[in-house]
Amino acid sequence: MPIWKDEKKKNRRDYVEVTPSRAEDLWLRCQSCGELVFRKKLAQNSYICPHCGAYFFLSAEERIASLVDEGSAADVTAPLVANDPLGFVDRKPYPDRVKEAQRETGLLDAVKVVEARIEGHPVVLAVMDFRFIGGSMGSVVGEELCLAMERAIELGVPFVLVAASGGARVQEGVLSLMQMPKTVLVRGKLARAGIPYIAVFTYPTTGGVLASIASLADITLAERGTKIGFAGPRVIEQTTKEKLPPDFQTEDFALARGMVDRVVRREELRSELGKILSLLDGGRYGG
């Protein structure tokens, strides 16, 4: 399913896939040009179709690999698993949903935290994974993000968040809402410690994650093809009967409204982060 396509320019490079692939598939079919691509080859190309330039869906692991210096990443994700504080059952029980997502993704929850280097610069990098219950922020994601920021403080290195989230983890009720003040609080600690915080908005950065930790970065990049917004388009149309502008909640919409510093193509994200990190390097005022 395409979410961003510049029709006027007929630019196939602006096609973004939002459906995850199965981890076991060695060959992936590009949903834009229809070609079959070898997964390893794709990985070497930041998961951009070598035939047409379309962006493939990225898991957290793939995202990390596409951003950090080879072999530099040490997984420091804490071994935390969601409880089921509400005994939540919709069409299936929440614990089953979590287990399924774990099985599918190999992750404990919707975020992966690594210590790594980006173009030589050490960082603590937290990457959300949209495959895990829509990248929703529940208790585990909130705690992991806080631990990641605290680790960045401890190490004295920048904190980088790659956001990909549909919002709060509904199945944990108000406890997931509470992850908003929780992460904002620790972001304040990060700020007081003078640690740089860079956020990257990838598809999609929405809801409670956008309305808390994601919006409070020093520097904010938006990946080409992302979606940035608080409320979903359907909710807006239903509540307000407004007609939405064609570029609504796109990265260009956000840029024009001053919400992000830059829109960056996926293939440039790594060097862009490298540039920023290198600019933040060197003797700061210590007075």
Partner 1 sequence: MVDEGTLKALEDKVAELKRLIQQDGLELSEELSLLERKLEELRREYFAKLSDWDRVKLARHERRPTGIELVEKVFDDFYELRGDRLLGDDQALRGGLAKLGGKPVVVLFHQKGRTLEEQRRYRFGMAGPAGYRKAARLMGIADRLRLPLISLVDTPGAYPGVEAESHNIAGTIARSIETMLSVRAPTVAVIVGEGGSGGAVAIACADRVLMLEYAIYSVISPEGAAAILWKDQKATPKAAEALGLSAPKLRALGVIDEVLPEPLGGAHTDPDATADTIREALMRHLDELFSLPLDELLALRYKRYRDVGSYREIETGSFLQDL
CA gap 251, 260 in Å, rounded: 8
Complex with partner 1: residue 47 or 197, whichever CB lies closer: 197
Residue 70 C-beta: closest distance to Zn ion, Å: 25
CA neighbor of 170 nearest in space, from 248, 84, 102:
84
Complex with partner 1: residue 32 or 215, whichever CB lies closer: 215
Residue 54 C-beta: closest distance to Zn ion, Å: 4
3 state SS of 148: helix
Residue 65's CB is within 10 A of a number of other CB atoms, namely: 17
Complex with partner 1: residue 208 or 225, whichever CB lies closer: 208
Residue 200 C-beta: closest distance to partner 1, Å: 14
Q: In this chain, which stretch among 42-50, 55-63, 115-123, 156-164 interacts with Zn ion, using CB under 5 A?
A: 42-50
Residue 28 C-beta: closest distance to Zn ion, Å: 10
244 contact choice in Zn ion, partner 1, none (CB below 5 to 8 Å, kind-dependent):
partner 1
* CB-neighbour burial class of residue 8 (10 A; exposed 0-12, middle 13-18, buried 19+): exposed
In degrees rounded to 5, what are phi and psi of residue 95? -60, -35
54 contact choice in partner 1, Zn ion, none (CB below 5 to 8 Å, kind-dependent):
Zn ion
Contacts from 21-30 at CB under 8 Å and sequence distance 24+? 21/56, 21/57, 23/59, 23/104, 23/105, 23/106, 28/56, 30/54, 30/56
50 binds Zn ion (CB under 5 A): no
Residue 173 C-beta: closest distance to partner 1, Å: 4
Residue 30 C-beta: closest distance to Zn ion, Å: 3
Complex with Zn ion: residue 51 or 99, whichever CB lies closer: 51
The contacts of residue 282 (CB under 8 Å, 6+ apart) are none
Beta bridge partners of 28: 37
Residue 135 C-beta: closest distance to partner 1, Å: 14
Residue 55's CB is within 10 A of a number of other CB atoms, namely: 27
Q: Are 128 and 135 in contact (CB under 8 A)?
A: yes
Complex with partner 1: residue 82 or 125, whichever CB lies closer: 82
Complex with Zn ion: residue 49 or 145, whichever CB lies closer: 49
54 binds Zn ion (CB under 5 A): yes
5 binds Zn ion (CB under 5 A): no
Distance, CA of 127 to chain centre: 5
208: left (phi over 0), alpha (psi -120 to 50) or beta: alpha
30 binds Zn ion (CB under 5 A): yes
33 binds Zn ion (CB under 5 A): yes
49 binds Zn ion (CB under 5 A): yes
CA gap 244, 262 in Å, rounded: 23
Complex with partner 1: residue 43 or 191, whichever CB lies closer: 191
CA gap 210, 201 in Å, rounded: 9
Binding footprint of Zn ion on the chain (CB under 5 A):
30, 32-33, 49, 51-52, 54
